[in-house]
Structures are given as C-alpha cells and as structure tokens.
C-alpha cells in the first residue's frame, strides 16, 4: 500500500535519516529542519516539541562534552561549531550558530503548524512504547498536524562515524511505500 505525504522530515536522533531522505526524495520534499545535523536524544526531541522549538539553544545551557552539548537535554550541536571549540572561543561563534539554529527551529515549527502532511522519520528503530509516546507528544502539542511517524529501519549499519550514512538498500526498502503527493494536490506551505 502506498502512503502519500507532502514533506518528509527527520526527527533524529542523528544525521542518518536526513541524509537518506534527501538522497531518496530530494531537498524540495525533504527541506532542512532543526534536527538534521545534530544528535538529538529522546528527552531533547520531546523538549523541542513541547517548547515549540524555542529556548533550546541558550548560551548558558551549552557545555563542551564530545562537542557542544545542551547540558540539560543532551542535544549535541556537532555541526554548529568548529571542531576545536572551547568555552573561551564560544562567544566568537555563538551568535552565528544561534542564528542558524533559530532559523531552522522556526522553519521546523512552521512545517509543524502548516497544512501539509508530514512524514516524520526516525533514523533508528525505537520500541513500540517509545514510538507511541513520541506520537502522543506530537499529537498533544500539534493537534491539527497531519502526520505519519515512521520508525527507523531494522537491519541498518551501526550508527558510528564510519557508517553514518547508513545502508542505502535498507533505506530504499524502508521508504518504498511512501511517496510524495504531486505538488498540484498538496496544500500550500504555511507562510513565514
């Protein structure tokens, strides 16, 4: 059975889903979003959703631990700062990184508040309990959102730095029954 959507977004927890979604569907159907190039543990994902993507990149919450990390929620902003970032050099880079994060957070929020049907993809499989819990967090905070929540594929490569892109064949099979609606049938995107 083929299921249709308008836009497809990665919900993390790592960069793999975004890479695969852009590879399969292209950037027009898989636009950039806040979770694309960061490590977002479950507690951080839930906080982003509950807080409407706001307040998640505050200077005082950032610390260095295998990259620049939100101390309370654990989101790792590995691509937002230079690899050699220190707390001493953070002020020189924070403004630009925050601006980019806020832009992506606002863009993601607009998609969650829009009329288009979203396919929301996880990069790794989660338990049924965690899947249902995430679905409930999304539904509670975005009651008008039309969405499908897709668990990560089973049988993919380990999520390490060598295999960060995943197995193309596994993702091709995983997404084969999900197709974007033709633009003429899709609702107009939400205005900025």
% of the chain surpassing 70 pLDDT = 94
Using pLDDT thresholds of 50, 70 and 90, give the confidence band for residue 186: low
Domain holding 42, by residue range, is: 3-185
Asked whether residue 169 is assigned to any structural domain, the reply reads yes
pLDDT value for 158: 78
Q: What is the pLDDT of residues 35-93, one digit of tens each?
A: 998 999 999 999 999 999 999 999 999 999 888 888 889 899 988 999 898 899 999 99
More confident residue, 99 or 69: 99
Question: What pLDDT sits at residue 79?
Answer: 87
| Tally of domains in the chain | 1
Whether 144 maps to a domain, the answer reads: yes
10 Å CB burial of residue 84 (0-12, 13-18, 19+) is exposed
**How many residues comprise the chain?**
192
Give the C-alpha separation, 192 to 172, whole Å: 32
Report yes or no on 135 lying in a domain.
yes
> Is a pLDDT exceeding 70 seen at residue 13?
yes
Q: Would you say residue 32 lies in a domain?
A: yes
Can you tell me the mean pLDDT for 105-109?
98
The HSE-up count of residue 130 (CA atoms within 13 Å, CB side) is 14
* Model confidence, pTM: 0.90
Residue 191 lies in a domain: no
- Res 28 pLDDT > 90: yes
Q: Give the pLDDT score at 178.
A: 97
């Amino acid at each position: 059975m083929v299921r249709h959507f308008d836009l497809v977004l990665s919900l993390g927890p790592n960069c793999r889903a975004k890479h695969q979604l852009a590879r399969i569907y292209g950037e027009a159907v898989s636009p950039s979003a806040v979770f694309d190039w960061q490590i977002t543990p479950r507690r951080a994902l839930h906080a982003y959703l509950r807080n409407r993507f706001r307040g998640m990149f505050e200077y005082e919450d950032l610390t260095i631990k295998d990259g620049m990390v939100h101390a309370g929620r654990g989101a790792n902003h590995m691509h937002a700062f230079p690899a050699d970032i220190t707390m001493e050099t953070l002020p020189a880079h924070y403004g630009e990184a925050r601006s980019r994060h806020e832009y992506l957070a606002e863009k993601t929020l607009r998609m969650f508040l829009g009329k288009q049907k979203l396919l929301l993809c996880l990069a790794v499989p989660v338990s049924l309990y965690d899947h249902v819990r995430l679905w409930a967090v999304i539904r509670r905070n975005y009651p008008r959102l039309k969405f499908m929540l897709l668990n990560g594929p089973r049988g993919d490569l380990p999520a390490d730095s060598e295999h960060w892109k995943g197995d193309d064949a596994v993702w091709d099979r995983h997404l084969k029954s999900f197709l974007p609606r033709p633009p003429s049938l899709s609702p107009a995107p939400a205005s900025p």
